Structure formats: structure tokens, C-alpha cells
Amino acid sequence: MKKFFYCLILLITICAVFACTGMAPKEQVIGSDNCYLVDFNSGRVLYAKGENDKKPIASMVKIMTLLITFENVDSGKLSLDQKVPISHEAAAQVGSEMFLDEGVEYPLSDLIKGIVTMSANDASVAVAELIGGDEVAFTGMMNQRAAALGMNDTLFSNATGYPTKEEQYSTAKDVACMMRELAKHKEYYNFSTIWLEDYTHPSGRVTQMANTNKLIRHYKGCDAGKTGYTDSAKFCLAGTAVRDGMRVVGSVLGAQDSKARFRAMSTLFNYGFNNFKNVVLVKGGSPLSVDVKVNGGKKDKLAVMAKSDLSVLQAKGEGNAKLEYNIPESVKAPINCGDKIGEVYAVVDGRKVAVCDVLAAEEIKKASIWDYVKKIM
């Protein structure tokens, strides 16, 4: 009888361990009352806890500094190899820094590297001065960009997140919002995945850069993130990870220690990957099994294709996604390859959750009189 009870207890324990991978993270996240997790592609909220509480976010402010920088690079206003002069104000920054030399010019890419890996305040101010003229003007740009993104519960007072007398705050939701926007810039990952690097200054002096986001080394799939710490903000983290074609973005505010923030983020990531999956319904460029008649053309039917991948995020227990087409029964020639014909929707439980354009997969010219004669004959 005792053996039976021991086996029963063991079985219950094993079931509990496996069950915890799919349970809501509020049962698992220890040391954070403010966290948020979203799907990168769709923006769908996967988990939220205290997401609208206004809190100091320390150096996670630099996510916006980086976002504006990469937006300027992508638009061509800045180049990664351009030289940036280091002012007295930038070189005089305290806290985390890469120890820039005043009056010396550094490549913009090196400053970005310092911000991303070691959260360098001096590099952040140098970049702010480059883009805005001075840090105050750049901070205004940060708040404008936040408003444009719908970050209604965020206020920036500097480009670094270093504590000042001025009010500065955000929320777990808003932090995840700007982290998601930053994660759209492919060039960012060339910096965010750096773990350790000995950086040589123009003078020949060497500074070791160590990434403050430990998850890029210790969590499979994590390839970017930004930490933050002050006495008031405690330990914070925003990050993103990708597995099996599904990317998630998360934020954790106010953890009690450094290990707690990484543990909390890992739990959020695990929850997303264990309970949701990205399903590709249609591959971009692939033919669609839809008949479209052609009026007045050299051919009677038009082959159509999806413009891009059509994918949907599905949770366990949700119904399978179905395809719904918005395509005319017939089109009039001439038709060029690549012309938009209609749309295809991904439908889950009666809701349209994603859409993709349907394009002509071939060119069909207008029929000539001889073409009509051949059809009759």
C-alpha cells in the first residue's frame, strides 16, 4: 500500500512539473509585479501583469535613444561610419560609460555598440547631441516619438535614464512597445548579439565591453535586450527572443535583484513559446488554388499568388485558422504579372486576424480578333 502511495505522489509531482510549462506566468514570475509579453509580428498580447503602472525604468530609456538613432540610419540621415565629436558634456557623464575621450571623434557604430552592450551614458549623450543638437532637444524628440507610438504613459527627461530631479517614467506595456519597434531594425542585431569585446579607442586605450543582457548567452533564441538599474527602478529588463519562426518581445520592471529579472523574463519567454505557435498558412510567392476567370484575354484563367507569407499566431485550444478570399470572379485583360487582384484573410474562430494581398502570377495580354477566331474554330 505504501508503495502505491509513493508512486501516486511521484506521478502527481511529474504531472505538476510538466503542467507548469503551460500555466500562466503570474504563478511563476517571482520578483516582478510589472511585466508584459507580446507577439512581435502581430502585436498580440500574450501576457500582462501591472502593465500600466508608471515606474522609473532606468537605462531602458536608452531603447528610445537607440530607436531614434537606427531610424536616422535607415533613412540615410546618418551613416554608421560617420565620425561623432565627443563634447565635454558627453565625456563628463557618470554611471555606466565607455570612457570616451573629450574632443576626439568616434565612429557612430562604436557609440551604438557602447550603448547596446554596456549601457554607456557618455555614448548616449554623444549620439543625442549628434541628432538633436543637444540632449534637451533630443529628449523632446524622444517624447514626440513615444507619443507617435501610442506610449501614453511615458515621459523622458534625458537620453540615458540616469536619475535627475526631473520626472521620468514608463510602463511595462510602453517599454515593450518601444522594444518591439527597435527590434524591427535588422542592423540592431549586429550589436545586440555581442557578448564580450575589447574595444580600442582612437588613442589606443582599451575598454572591455561586456553585454549587460545575460540572456543572449543563457537563453536559447534571445538575441537582443536592454537592462536597467537604479535604486528607485530596481532591476529592469526588456528583451526579445525567437524560436521556430515565432518572435516574442517582453519587459520586466522592478525585480528585486539581477537574477530575478532574468528569471522573470525567461519565464515569460517560456510561457509564450510553450503556449503559442506561429502557423504559416500561405507562403509568399506560392500559387493559390483559386479560379479567376479572365475576360477578353489570350487565356481564360489567371494564376494568382500570395504577395508575402500569411501567418497567424495560435494559442493552444484555439480553432484552426482558415483562409477566406476577397477576389473577384473575373478580371479584364490585359493583366500584368504582380497586379493586385484581391486579398486573402486568415480567420480564427470567425475573426479576421491577418491579411495578405493576392497578386497576378502571370501576364495575360488582351485577346486579338485572331484569338477569338481560333476559339471558334
Give me the active site residues, please.
Answer: 59, 62, 119
**CA atoms of 236 and 229, how far apart (whole Å):** 6
Cross-strand bridge partners of residue 36? 48, 251
Phi and psi for 310 in degrees, rounded to 5? Answer: -115, 110
Distance CA 363, CA 298 (A): 10
Rounded to the nearest 10 degrees, the angle between the axes of helix 172-182 and helix 62-74 is 30
Phi-psi region of 129 (alpha: psi -120 to 50; beta: other; left: phi over 0): alpha
Give the whole-angstrom CA distance, residue 53 versus residue 74: 33
C-alpha cell recorded at residue 130: 549628434
> Cβ–Cβ contacts within 10 Å for residue 268, how many?
28
CA 281 to CA 249: how far, in whole Å? 23
150 exposure class (CB count in 10 Å sphere: 0-12, 13-18, 19+): exposed
